[in-house]
Amino acid sequence: MNTKVRVAGLLLLVVGSALGGCNARYNELMETNRALTDRNSALGAEIETLTASMSQLQAAIDTRDRTIAEMRGLTGDMRSENQRLQDELERLGGRLSDIKFGQLDAATDQALRDLAAQYPDLIIYDPDRGMVRFTSDLTFASGSADVTEQGRQSLAAFGRILGSGTAASYDIRIVGHTDSQRMSPNTAQKHGSNWGLSAHRAISVMQEITKMGVGPERVEIAGRGEHMPTVANSSGGNTPQNRRVEIYLVRSASGRPVAPAPSGNQPAPPLPARTDDDMVK
């Protein structure tokens, strides 16, 4: 009997030990499972974040591709427009070459050559274009449309040529030009802009030559401001070539007879005061 009891107790002890080992293993497996579950959740969240980032990156790439495509389209349009403008420029250049600007008669041509030789620092004569250029730095004070004494003398000589002989058969186009230098406040108050200054200088030249008997009906004036430079403008204003007044002699387009110049140096009728509205007439 006692032997049976001892055997039974021994069996219970073995079974209990076995069950205890199973419980420990079970708990270990459960802990591992929880760790794996947490890791899986973290990886899932990371995947979602990466997926969102990839979506944003793809959207940015798509936007970039659309922008590149649009820019390529614009580039193509600009090339087409540039070609069109180049073709138009060549067409106009061809028309311009057909216009005989410089075919002045021999007497007028020689008179203008002599005038330029008399005032070499002030006047440039271009026989190919029938153009006389007065440098603004010597014809006008800085920022002013008032003609200097030297400028008046040379313009008076020029006006006498235009008002007599064969030169009286030409119309006269006076075009003022400036550089792009910023105006002083005083100059801006008087002239408004470089465009206004260039036009007012053209008007001053017209006033000087009409004093010498040139009929105002022969004269056309314009101001181009800084927009037609002969050399690239600079902010420092060191481009005197661009500060100029150009005077073109052209055959009268109307075919009207040219009125004879008044005898002596009878002044032309007074002209109205300059305003910014006088830029082109």
User: What secondary structure, in 3-state letters, does 124-190 show?
Assistant: EEECCCCEEEEEHHHHECCCCCCECHHHHHHHHHHHHHHCCHHHHHEEEEEEEECCCCCCCHHHHHH
- 61-71 pLDDT, tens per residue? 989 888 898 88
What pLDDT shows up at residue 267? 40
What pLDDT shows up at residue 92? 64
What pLDDT shows up at residue 226? 83
Q: Which CATH topology does 106-278 take?
A: 60s Ribosomal Protein L30; Chain: A; (3.30.1330)
Average pLDDT over residues 168-190: 86
What pLDDT shows up at residue 238? 66
What pLDDT shows up at residue 232? 82
Could you tell me the CA-to-CA distances from 142 to 138, 184, 256, 267 in Å, in that order?
A: 9, 10, 39, 27
- 223-245 pLDDT, tens per residue? 988 888 888 877 666 677 788 89
What pLDDT shows up at residue 210? 93
8-state DSSP, 218: G
Residues in the chain: 281
What band does 174 get if pLDDT is binned at 50, 70 and 90? very high
* 3-class DSSP assignment, residue 277: helix
Of all helices (H) and strands (E), which one includes residue 123? strand 123-126
Domain chopping of the chain, boundaries:
1-99, 106-278
> Residue type for 121, please?
D
Q: CA-CA distance, 236 to 242, in Å (whole number)?
A: 13
Question: Is residue 127 a contact partner of residue 102, using CB atoms and an 8 Å limit?
Answer: yes
* pTM of model > 0.85: no
- 189-220 pLDDT, tens per residue? 888 888 888 999 999 999 999 999 899 999 99
